[in-house]
């Protein structure tokens, strides 16, 4: 009954969702392109199709090494990548070019999912992280398409939420064919909410298997050289409510080190303009990457382009990972850690609790409570090259120590093809 009610509610609000999509498309025209794909009307796909669903940018980046490994080991397969956001698809296209197929994920109505499955004809569905859509999973089971949750995580709060709607959650969880969990506690929570024990394996997080393509390394070196000998710290994937705090921290740093440069990269492109306004209102000079402006005379460099955060991390001396000074849950700290630079985050990192715990245990990350703490810690590292290198080395060591999940996940997918 709950499944029926859920489906009817989705159908009822679908016109309003499409209207909202059109409205937001005023500032982000990409949202209006291929909108019909969200109703399941996608190009027909031939061959052995592996449908890889990554909700947005972070999950798309995490899927990158897995997709590359699958293509290398099974060159005859066709990868169809979907995302809910235009930024997720833009990131995928930047990473893979014409190696894979792309589409927006269909909205979770029974009709949209059926149309998508009829046209795409996937052999399996690989969902990154824990993007659980009831109709997507139930319709895949009805069409005999196995569903794999890869790099799966489930917080205690989310598990309790699923337990409150157990009559809806359990049938969905029983329709999942395999869960590759990041940690033992994630695996236990999935079993608690209905996934059979035999279908759950602890593989670790594939995010530790992050790789840096040669082209990204080369671009990072070239950009760093353009900045001269300035100290550079970066705030990546920032959200509303954090930018003012970060700019305040930078003003404090500039008071001691006037040549320091802050690179700030908002998580969502629709915020580029508002962040630029905040920089100017804070009395700081600004250069914008999208305009090709040089950073040599600026206090702040705005990374207002898509798909370049990894490169910008590599050009920095210290990184702050956003979404963590507010209760957003944080973003992936391994992207800067793999460059071997010190990593800072705010206190709200529940989206990546396992990864952060391993970094904290080995002193590979520092959690700060506010802008004053961040400014003090970054300023201290500016004056201590040896300590900065030592912290960065510890962060990279955590990444290297925990690699290996990728091979286990790829083996599991290929065994079940």
CA distance 193 to 209: 28
Q: Does residue 129 contact residue 351 with C-beta atoms inside 8 Å?
A: no
Least Cα distance to 363 among 323, 332, 395, 339 occurs for: 395
CA distance 136 to 3: 12
Instruction: Give the helix ranges, DSSP H, for 25-84.
Output: 57-73
Q: 13 to each of 37, 137, 257, 334, how far by Cα in Å?
A: 17, 20, 53, 37
Q: What is the DSSP letter of 28?
A: -
DSSP bridge partners of 50: 79, 124
Q: Does residue 42 contact residue 77 with C-beta atoms inside 8 Å?
A: no
Query: How would DSSP label each residue in 307-355?
Result: S-HHHHHHT-SEEEESSTTTTT----THHHHTTT--EEE-S--GGGHHH
CA distance 40 to 53: 14
Orientation of helix 243-256 relative to helix 371-382, angle to 10°: 40
Instruction: Establish whether 129 is a catalytic residue.
Output: no
Out of 30, 59, 225, 387, which one is annotated catalytic? 59
Which are the catalytic amino acids? 59
């Amino acid at each position: 009954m709950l499944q029926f009610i859920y489906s009817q509610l989705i159908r009822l609000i679908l016109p309003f969702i499409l209207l909202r999509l059109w409205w937001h498309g005023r500032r982000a025209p990409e949202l209006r392109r291929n909108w019909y794909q969200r109703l399941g009307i996608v190009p027909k796909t031939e061959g052995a199709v592996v449908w890889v669903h990554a909700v947005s940018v972070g999950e798309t980046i995490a899927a990158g090494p897995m997709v590359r490994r699958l293509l290398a080991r099974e060159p005859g397969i066709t990868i169809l990548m979907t995302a809910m956001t235009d930024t997720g698809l833009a990131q995928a296209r930047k990473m893979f070019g014409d190696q894979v197929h792309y589409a927006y994920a269909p909205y979770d109505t029974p009709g949209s999912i059926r149309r998508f499955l009829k046209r795409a004809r996937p052999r399996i569905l690989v969902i990154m992280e824990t993007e659980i859509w009831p109709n997507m999973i139930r319709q895949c089971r009805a069409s005999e398409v196995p569903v794999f949750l890869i790099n799966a995580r489930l917080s205690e709060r989310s598990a309790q939420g699923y337990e409150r709607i157990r009559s809806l959650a359990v049938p969905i969880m029983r329709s999942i064919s395999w869960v590759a969990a990041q940690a033992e506690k994630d695996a236990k929570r999935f079993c608690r909410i209905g996934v059979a024990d035999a279908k759950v394996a602890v593989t670790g997080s594939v995010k530790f298997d992050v790789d840096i393509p040669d082209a990204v390394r080369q671009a990072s070196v070239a950009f760093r050289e353009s900045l001269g000998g300035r100290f550079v710290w970066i705030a990546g994937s920032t959200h509303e409510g954090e930018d003012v705090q970060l700019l305040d921290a930078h003003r404090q740093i500039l008071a001691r080190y006037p040549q320091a440069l802050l690179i700030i990269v908002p998580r969502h492109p629709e915020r580029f303009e508002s962040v630029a306004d905040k920089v100017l209102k804070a009395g700081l000079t600004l250069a914008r990457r999208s305009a090709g402006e040089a950073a040599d005379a600026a206090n702040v460099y705005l990374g207002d382009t898509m798909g370049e955060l990894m490169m910008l991390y590599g050009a920095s001396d210290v990184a702050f990972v956003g979404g963590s000074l507010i209760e957003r849950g944080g973003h992936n700290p391994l992207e800067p850690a793999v460059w071997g630079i010190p990593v800072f985050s705010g206190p709200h990192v529940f989206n990546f609790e396992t990864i952060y715990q391993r970094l904290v245990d080995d002193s590979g990350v520092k959690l700060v409570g506010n802008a004053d703490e961040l400014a003090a810690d970054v300023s201290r590292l500016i004056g201590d090259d040896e300590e900065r290198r030592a912290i960065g080395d510890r962060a990279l060591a955590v990444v290297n120590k925990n690699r290996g999940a990728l091979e286990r996940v790829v083996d599991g997918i290929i065994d079940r093809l």
